[in-house]
Amino acid sequence: MMATLQLDRILGLDKSKMTVTTQAGVKTRNLIDWLARREYALPTIPYYIDQSIGGAVATATHGSSIFWGSLSSLVTEIKIVLADGSVRTLTEADGDLFAAARCNVGVLGVVVELTFMIVPNKIVRRGLGYASDAHLLTELKKAEHDSLAFERVHYWYSPPLKMAAVTTVDNLSPLEQHEAKAMASLGREASDWYSRLFADSPLEKPLQRVVLANYLKTPSAKEAATNIMLGHAMNILPGTYKLSDALPVQQVLETDILLSAFGRYDQYEYAVALDKAHDCVKSLFELFDRNVTNRDDFRVPFCLRFVGPNHEGLLGMSRGGSRFYLNMDNYDVYNRHGFSQSMQVIKDLMASDTCQARVHYGKASIYSPVSGAWTKRDAQYVKDTVGVDIFERFLSAAKTLDPSGKFADGVLVPK
């Protein structure tokens, strides 16, 4: 295993090109905050921002952006150390080699530096609303024909409550921007007020116990889901913020509490073509309504987002067209009663002809119940869903950059 923890320097801005260059071990959160202090921002960021920026790019980690795509879509240059010790810098001019490196899943070499597109850290408006099952289906039908209407839209869907919290992030006019400056100066500290209030205080441990009780011990799934959704709502308070503060992210204390309370958990994420999203989610709701899968098994809400194909890597999940992403957290497998059959039913639906979902490479696979346990069957599924031609182009790029197979994983890339 290769660690990049010491590759932790942000190397600088190029204001003329509107780019930032950073070493691969820098935490995504630290890069966001470094840029914000200089009045710049990444135009799209993932919800989970405590991973290394190199790792985030390796798996095409994303937020919700039809226009900008995934975090990998923002990359304009990648410096990679190859198996023979040589260093190569890849750009768009390198064709498939660069397209492969944009979502490299760790099998091409050691990525040491990346350059990203940036934008001015303008003031935007964050909104918060709620949607029923029926309204969500109506919106997914609309997304088939007007995907840009869902730019930077996030849904947190709670199966027990049969509703979703909806976060929107919209641009302001120049006049609105001027009037909103005072509010924006509160920044992320305002939306993360509970972190400042409780971190390192006598209440932090009790809060962890409350979270644990809400998930594991609360008799009513609806009660637990309500508490968890209220926590999400506190994290996404509406108002005017700088862009870097407005895009929803998991706050530090939220991360610490979850990890302290549960230790480990798995995630599953599926990317469904927009022309299939409505029917896919409708089928999911029908499984719930027929009790084929149990709503109460999903106390933590699903995170639903939209990602476009802009500059997507060869293995990027949105390559070829915009997609609707459904993310599930699974705390059961390590903390309650093992792998949930309800979750398996949903995984089977995602792999069906109704959904034909692609899978996130940094999360648990279609055929394995736990993260990091990908099999050759999963590799075949990736090949089928991204397309044989695209998959073979990725393998060809891997062979060019790593002819000895030193970094091949034996699953996606044969040794």
Q: How many residues belong to the chain?
A: 415
Which of 196-210, 229-243, 382-396 is predicted with the least confidence, judged by mean pLDDT?
196-210
User: What stretches of 215-307 show up as alpha helix (H) in DSSP?
Assistant: 221-235, 243-246, 252-262, 274-289
pLDDT (mean) for 2-23 = 91
Q: Quick check: is 414 in a domain?
A: no
Residue 147, domain CATH: 3.40.462
Which one is predicted more confidently, 274 or 232?
Answer: 274
Other residues' Cβ atoms within 10 Å of the Cβ of residue 55: 17
Amino acid found at 173: S
Which one is predicted more confidently, 265 or 213?
Answer: 265
The domain boundary, picked from 92, 120, 148, lies at 120
Whole-angstrom distance, CA of residue 215 vs CA of residue 153: 27
55 touches 112 (CB < 8 A) = no
Q: Quick check: is 404 in a domain?
A: no
Residues 223 and 87 in one domain: no
The tens digit of pLDDT for each residue in 353-390 reads 999 999 998 887 777 666 557 888 888 999 999 999 99
Amino acid found at 112: V
Burial letters for 107-116: b for 16+ Cβ neighbours within 10 Å, e otherwise? bbbbbbbbbb
Which one is predicted more confidently, 100 or 193?
Answer: 100
**Cα angle at 391 between 399 and 307, to 5 degrees?**
125
What pLDDT is attached to residue 213? 52
Q: At what angle do helices 204-212 and 252-262 cross, to 10 degrees?
A: 60
Other residues' Cβ atoms within 10 Å of the Cβ of residue 217: 9
The tens digit of pLDDT for each residue in 135-156 reads 999 999 999 999 999 999 999 9
Whole-angstrom distance, CA of residue 47 vs CA of residue 121: 18
What pLDDT is attached to residue 196? 46
What percentage of the chain reaches a pLDDT higher than 90? 60
Q: Quick check: is 409 in a domain?
A: no
Task: Count how many domains the chain has.
Answer: 2
What pLDDT is attached to residue 182? 46
Residues 197 and 103 in one domain: no
Domain extent at residue 104: 10-120
The domain boundary, picked from 97, 120, 143, lies at 120
pLDDT at residue 327 is higher than 90 = yes
The tens digit of pLDDT for each residue in 306-318 reads 999 989 899 999 9
Q: Quick check: is 390 in a domain?
A: no
Q: Quick check: is 373 in a domain?
A: yes
Residues 160 and 85 in one domain: no
Residues 303 and 351 in one domain: yes
Residues 128 and 107 in one domain: no
Residues 355 and 322 in one domain: yes
> What contacts 222, CB < 8 A, 6 or more positions away?
160, 161, 296
What pLDDT is attached to residue 295? 86
β-pair partners for 65:
307
Which one is predicted more confidently, 217 or 353?
Answer: 353
Q: Quick check: is 181 in a domain?
A: yes
Residues 319 and 368 in one domain: yes
> What contacts 340, CB < 8 A, 6 or more positions away?
297, 330, 332, 333
